[in-house]
Chains A and B, each alone.
Chain A
Amino acid sequence: SQSIAGCQAAELQSKVVPSKQILHSDNMEMEPETMETKSVTDYFSKLHMGSLVYSCTSKRKTK
């Protein structure tokens, strides 16, 4: 039951150090996730509205 209590305590997120009753001096630092990216501009060539897209982007540039 002590480990359950310990885990409940661990769920209370500390901003500073992870909550564990055993004295862990460490806080393992992970590398960031990589997400796959898509962009609407990837598909411009597939759209049959090139002139419209052109007008959109040029309008944006003049803003």
Chain B
Amino acid sequence: HVRYRMEASCLELALEGERLCKAGDCRAGVSFFEAAVQVGTEDLKTLSAIYSQLGNAYFYLHEYAKALEYHHHDLTLARTIGDHVGEAKASGNLGNTLKVLGNFDDAIVCCQRHLDISRELNDKVGEARALYNLGNVYHSKGKNVACAGTHDPGELPDEVKAALQKAADYYEENLTIVTELGDRAAQGRAYGNLGNTHYLLGNFRSAVIAHEQRLLIAKEFGDRAAERRAYSNLGNAYIFLSEFETASEYYKKTLQLARQLKDRAVEAQACYSLGNTYTLLQDYEKAIDFHLRHLTIAQELNDRIGEGRACWSLGNAYTALGNHDQAMHFAEKHLEISREVGDRSGELTARLNLSDLQMVLGLSYSINNSMISEIHAVDNSLDGARPRVGRRHSMENMELMKLTPEKIQNWN
């Protein structure tokens, strides 16, 4: 009789935990699940379900160490009771958690287990989901290694390329199955991440094709967050295709949706992207306008790193316009913020920019303005010396706004 009461109480608590998590309140859900674990149950499948949901709740709360712990308990339990479907699910969740924690090799083992079991059970839905997860792990692995250097997309070490290519293959395999299953939502996710993988691989045309599909599906579902993501990713790909006008159109759509969705951080990101795009289009007034909007939101969100980046961009744009007083003002702010956040390379950049500007201002006070135009002429001549296309080229256009070419060499 006591045991029955205990079981009932455990179930009741777990059901309330489920209800709260479904309603989006994971924090409260966790308390109920943990209370359910405290009460305990002799039914191991129920316990497995509680562990699994606790793991997912912690995952959504970004408490990954806790998520790992509970998904691990779930996996052990599922194996103990010989629940194959349960084991596959626990392996998948463990894999996703290990991926976020940066343990890619173990993540691959877990996701592969999810895939193998799903195939053994002829579970097409599970198989597709495992393929998507595997794609995500290889994508993260590739991106993580690529982050250690300062590569542009398309200029990658072999190790990174291999991981990204695997990710693309898994997304393609996933797409084949979810298309057969007619699962449009899953197709949307796969197209989005496939597009981003092609983007990193430097296949910008393929990236555009995938993101266009993603956009189409997002519209079908009226999923405005996904629609906004697709616009933003399309903008990024068109930048690399050197189609800056098209990129600016997509970024504007991103901005519009970010405002509708009242997401200030995303709005700031869109403004920053637009600022950079107008810099590439050499429309510095518009670039300044968007960078100032970005700056305002960064200050509002108390985002010092974003603020520093805005100051740097504004310094460059004002320099391009020959407004050296404003350029100086923002270069000083950039230096101040770089020091504050401990950004050593930002600090160095700011110092170089400041010394360049001080020199120009000093010269312009003592000689005349023709000196400045002469320096600009020297900078412009560099343009022809570096005819490479795409982003690298665009980045160099931006660097040309720094005033002394020798220092560009040192910096590079």
A: residues with CB less than 8 A from B are 2-3, 5-10, 12-17, 19-23, 25-43, 46-47, 49, 52-53, 55-57, 59-60
Contact = CB atoms under 8 A, between A and B. Distances in A.
A52 B346 CA distance: 64
Contacts of A12: 305, 341-343
Nearest to A28: B196
Give the dominant DSSP class at A's interface. Answer: loop
B49 to A, nearest CB: 4
Give the dominant DSSP class at B's interface. Answer: helix
21 contacts: A3-B148, A5-B343, A8-B344, A9-B345, A15-B301, A15-B306, A16-B265, A16-B268, A16-B301, A25-B272, A26-B236, A26-B273, A31-B226, A36-B93, A38-B49, A38-B89, A41-B15, A42-B49, A43-B45, A43-B49, A56-B8
A32 B223 CA distance: 13
Interface in B155-204: 186, 188-190, 192-193, 196, 199-200
Given A31-B193, A34-B129, A40 B229 contact: no
Interface string B325-366: 000000000000000011111100100000000000000000
Given A36-B129, A40-B14, A17 B345 contact: no
A10 B96 CA distance: 23
Please give me the 4 A-B residue pairs with the lowest Cβ-Cβ distance, nearest first. Answer: A25-B276, A16-B306, A36-B89, A26-B236
Interface of B: 4, 7-8, 11-12, 14-16, 18, 43, 45-46, 48-50, 52-53, 56, 59, 74, 86, 88-90, 92-93, 96, 114, 129, 132-133, 136, 139, 147-150, 186, 188-190, 192-193, 196, 199-200, 214, 226, 228-229, 232-233, 235-236, 239, 265, 268-269, 272-273, 275-277, 280, 294, 297-298, 301, 303, 305-306, 309, 313, 341-346, 349, 395, 398
A16 to B, nearest CB: 3
A27 B92 CA distance: 27
Nearest to A23: B398
Contacts of B88: 36
B152 to A, nearest CB: 8
Given A25-B239, A25-B272, A38-B89, A32 B189 contact: yes
A28 B50 contact: no
Given A28-B233, A60-B16, 19 more contacts: A9-B344, A14-B303, A15-B303, A16-B272, A16-B303, A25-B277, A27-B236, A27-B273, A28-B199, A30-B192, A31-B193, A35-B93, A36-B52, A36-B129, A37-B89, A47-B43, A52-B8, A52-B11, A59-B12
B269 A19 contact: no
| Among A6, A13, A30, A32, residue most surrounded by chain B Cβ atoms (within 10 Å) | A30
A14 B394 CA distance: 24
Given A14-B306, A30-B193, A21 B349 contact: yes
Contacts of A39: 18, 49, 53
A25 to B, nearest CB: 3
B189 A34 contact: yes
Contacts of B18: 39-41
B236 A9 contact: no
Given A31-B229, A47-B46, A49-B4, A56 B273 contact: no
A44 B338 CA distance: 58
A3 B52 contact: no
B206 to A, nearest CB: 15
Given A25-B239, A36-B92, A43-B43, A6 B342 contact: no
| Among B133, B226, B309, B398, residue most surrounded by chain A Cβ atoms (within 10 Å) | B309
| Among B53, B150, B189, B232, residue most surrounded by chain A Cβ atoms (within 10 Å) | B150
Contacts of B4: 49, 52
Contacts of A42: 45, 49
Contacts of B305: 9, 12-14, 16, 19
| Among B8, B298, B349, B398, residue most surrounded by chain A Cβ atoms (within 10 Å) | B8
A52 B8 CA distance: 6
Contacts of B294: 16-17
